[in-house]
Amino acid sequence: MPRNQGLQKRIRPAARRIALISVLGFAATAGPLAVAPAAEAATTRGGCTLNPLAPILAQDDPKDGERTINYRISLDCAADRRLEVQQEIYVVTPRRSMRKGATTHTRTFKDTGGKFRLSTISRLPDTGAEREDVYHRIRFITRSRDGKWDSGWTEWDTSKTATFKHNK
């Protein structure tokens, strides 16, 4: 047996172990990143700018004390625009984000544009945890007064995550 062949046999398993540890270490840190949404970011297209805002507490239901959450969207559109917004609501669990609802908003800006807020009020999801982490994401498309779409759907924009405690 050549002199350095035994040395190569000992180095290769060690290198494999280091590579495996590196991959497992990366996977452990990447796991939580897969569920955490990106920070708030505004998108501008077709004469409109939209921004999904962090969810806030709307109120406690007087009947059963359950919390309702306001998922807000700030928007600023030019005149002569028709806006269609798709919104999805999520709750973060230890394993993944789960979609808990969806809605579509439409708004028409005729002679004047302006700044507005859209709101979707929804009950705080209950995954059995004491606290719930929630967020929402939006995408939109605009149409000009002549009825032609200015562009395709934007990419999804995600709000910051907010944490709410149940009243139970």
| Residue 160 pLDDT greater than 90, yes or no | yes
**How do residues 128-153 score in pLDDT, each as one tens digit?**
898 999 999 999 999 887 777 777 89
Q: Are residues 114 and 132 in the same domain?
A: yes
Q: Are residues 89 and 136 in the same domain?
A: yes
**How do residues 95-117 score in pLDDT, each as one tens digit?**
899 999 999 999 988 888 899 99
Q: Are residues 26 and 56 in the same domain?
A: no
Q: Are residues 23 and 78 in the same domain?
A: no
Q: Where in the sequence is the domain holding 14, given as residue range(s)? A: 1-35
- What are residue 51's DSSP bridge partners? 74
Q: Are residues 73 and 146 in the same domain?
A: yes
Q: Are residues 104 and 121 in the same domain?
A: yes
Q: List the CATH number of the domain containing 62.
A: 2.60.40
b/e per residue 61-98 (b: at least 16 CB within 10 A): eeeeeebebebbbebbbeebbbbebbbbbbbbeeeebe
Q: Are residues 29 and 52 in the same domain?
A: no
Q: Nearest-CA neighbor of 134 among 97, 166, 102?
A: 97
